[in-house]
Amino acid sequence: MRRIGFVGLGSMGLPMAKNLAQAGYEVLAWNRTPKEAEGLIRVESPREVARTGLVITMLADDAATEAVLPEILEGLPPGGLHIAMSTLGVPYSRALWERHRQAGKRYLAAPVFGRPEAAARGELRIVVAGAPADVEEARPLLKALGVEVYEVGEAPHLAHAVKLGGNFLIAGMLEALAEAYVLVEKNGVRREAFYEVVRGFFRSPVYEAYGRILLERRFSPPGFKLRLGLKDVRLIHQAADTTQTPLPLGHLLLDRFLEGVARGMGEEDWTALLSVVEGSAGIGGRR
C-alpha cells in the first residue's frame, strides 16, 4: 500500500481523499481546521503530510497554497512530488514550478473540473501538465479520482491556463443561461419548458446540470461558492492582462460576480449569479 499525503479537506478535497483511500492508498491528511474522516489518517502539519514523498494540495486559492508551501517543501524528501489540484493563477503556478526545481523537488499541476458530487463519484475531469515521468507516476492516482485525464504539456502552469479557460466558459454559460431564463420568463414562457429545450438541443452535461441547479435555485449548500467564482474571474483577468488578451465578456462577469458578493451572496453557490441577473431585470423582488 503506497502512502501519500493530502492537504485540504474542503468540499472537494474530502471526497477526493476518501476516494484515494478506497482505491488502496494510505492517505495522511491535514486540514487547517481539524476534520475527522473515515479511512484517512489525520496528522498535525503539512510538513508531516509531505514526508510521504507525494503530496496533493486541494486548497481554495493561491494564498492558501502559499500558506502551506514552506512546510511542504521542507517536508518533501529530495525528488518528492507535489501535485497541485487547486485552481491557481498562471503566474503563481509558474513560480511554484521554479521554486520546487530550486528546492530539488518535483511539481505537477492537475486542476480538476467537476462539483463535489462528481468528486464523490470519482468522476472528475482532470487537466494535467508536467514532466512526462511525473505524469506517469501520478496516472494511477489521477484515475482513481476522475474519468478523464487531459495532458496539455510539460510546463505545469499550462494546466492552470486550461483550467481558467474552462472556468471562463462555465462562468459565461452561467451568465448567458441566467439571462435566457429571465428573458423567456418575462415573455411569458415557463422556465421549466425552456430548460427542456436547452437540455434536448444542447445535450451537454454542463448545460443540463447547471440548468437544473438554476431552475431549482439550489444555491445552498454551495458546491462552489460565488466568492470563489469571483476569485477565478480575477485569475482569468490576471492571465489575460499578462498576455495582453482583451476579454470584453470577462469584464461583464467580473462586475456580475462582484455585485453578487457585495449583495451578500458570496457564501452561496456561484449559480446565485441568477439572482444578480434577475435583480437587474427588475424581477428580484419576486424571488
Q: 3-state SS string over 124-186?
A: EEEEEECCHHHHHHHHHHHHHHEEEEEECCCCCHHHHHHHHHHHHHHHHHHHHHHHHHHHHHH
Q: What percent of the chain has pLDDT over 70?
A: 99
Q: How far apart are CA 285 and CA 279, in angstroms?
A: 8
Phi-psi region at 73: left, alpha or beta (left = phi > 0; alpha = psi -120 to 50): alpha
Among 178, 262, 185, smallest CA distance to 213 is for 178
Q: What is the pLDDT of residue 33?
A: 87
Mean pLDDT, to the nearest integer, of 210-224?
96
Q: Is the pLDDT of residue 287 over 70?
A: no
Q: What is the pLDDT of residue 71?
A: 98
In this structure, what are the phi and psi dihedrals at residue 237, rounded to the nearest 5 degrees?
Answer: -65, -35
CA 248 to centroid of chain Cα atoms: 23
Judgement on whether residues 12 and 149 belong to the same structural domain of the protein: yes
Judgement on whether residues 59 and 44 belong to the same structural domain of the protein: yes
- Residue 26: count of CB within 10 angstroms of its CB: 15
Judgement on whether residues 140 and 207 belong to the same structural domain of the protein: no
Pick the last residue of a domain from 154, 175, 197: 154
Judgement on whether residues 15 and 106 belong to the same structural domain of the protein: yes
Pick the last residue of a domain from 120, 135, 154: 154
Q: How confident is the model at residue 34 (pLDDT cuts 50, 70, 90)?
A: confident
The enclosing domain of 45 has a CATH number of 3.40.50.720
Structural domain harbouring 64: 3-154
Q: What is the pLDDT of residue 74?
A: 98
Q: In Å, what is the CA distance from 102 to each residue of 95, 99, 120, 279?
A: 11, 5, 35, 51
Judgement on whether residues 107 and 131 belong to the same structural domain of the protein: yes
C-alpha cell at 214: 438554476
Q: Is the pLDDT of residue 77 over 70?
A: yes
Q: Is the pLDDT of residue 91 over 70?
A: yes
Q: What is the pLDDT of residue 35?
A: 73
Q: Is the pLDDT of residue 22 over 80?
A: yes
Q: Which residue type is seen at 128?
A: V
Mean pLDDT, to the nearest integer, of 263-286?
92
Judgement on whether residues 55 and 143 belong to the same structural domain of the protein: yes
C-alpha cell at 122: 470519482
What is the Cα gyration radius of the chain?
A: 20
The enclosing domain of 242 has a CATH number of 1.10.1040.10
Q: How far apart are CA 155 and CA 25, in angstroms?
A: 27
Pick the last residue of a domain from 126, 154, 182: 154
Judgement on whether residues 238 and 266 belong to the same structural domain of the protein: yes
The secondary structure of residue 282, as a DSSP letter, is T
Residue 169 buriedness (CB in 10 A; 0-12 / 13-18 / 19+):
exposed
211 and 64 Cβ atoms separated by less than 8 Å:
no
C-alpha cell at 124: 472528475
Which residues are within 8 A (CB) of 196 and not within 5 positions of it... i.e. 6 or more apart? Answer: none
The pLDDT mean for the chain works out to 96
Judgement on whether residues 38 and 137 belong to the same structural domain of the protein: yes
Q: Which residue type is seen at 173?
A: M
Among 254, 264, 253, smallest CA distance to 179 is for 253
Residues 142-164: pLDDT tens digits? 999 999 999 999 999 999 999 99
Q: Is the pLDDT of residue 246 over 90?
A: yes
Q: How confident is the model at residue 286 (pLDDT cuts 50, 70, 90)?
A: very low
Judgement on whether residues 183 and 98 belong to the same structural domain of the protein: no
Mean pLDDT, to the nearest integer, of 94-107?
98
Helix (H) or strand (E) holding 208: helix 205-216
Q: What percent of the chain has pLDDT over 90?
A: 94
Helix, strand or coil, per DSSP, at residue 224: coil
Judgement on whether residues 220 and 149 belong to the same structural domain of the protein: no
**Residues that are catalytic:** 163
Could you give the number of structural domains in the chain? 2
Judgement on whether residues 144 and 230 belong to the same structural domain of the protein: no
Judgement on whether residues 86 and 132 belong to the same structural domain of the protein: yes
Provide long-range contacts, Cβ within 8 A and 24+ apart, for 240-246.
242/90, 242/91
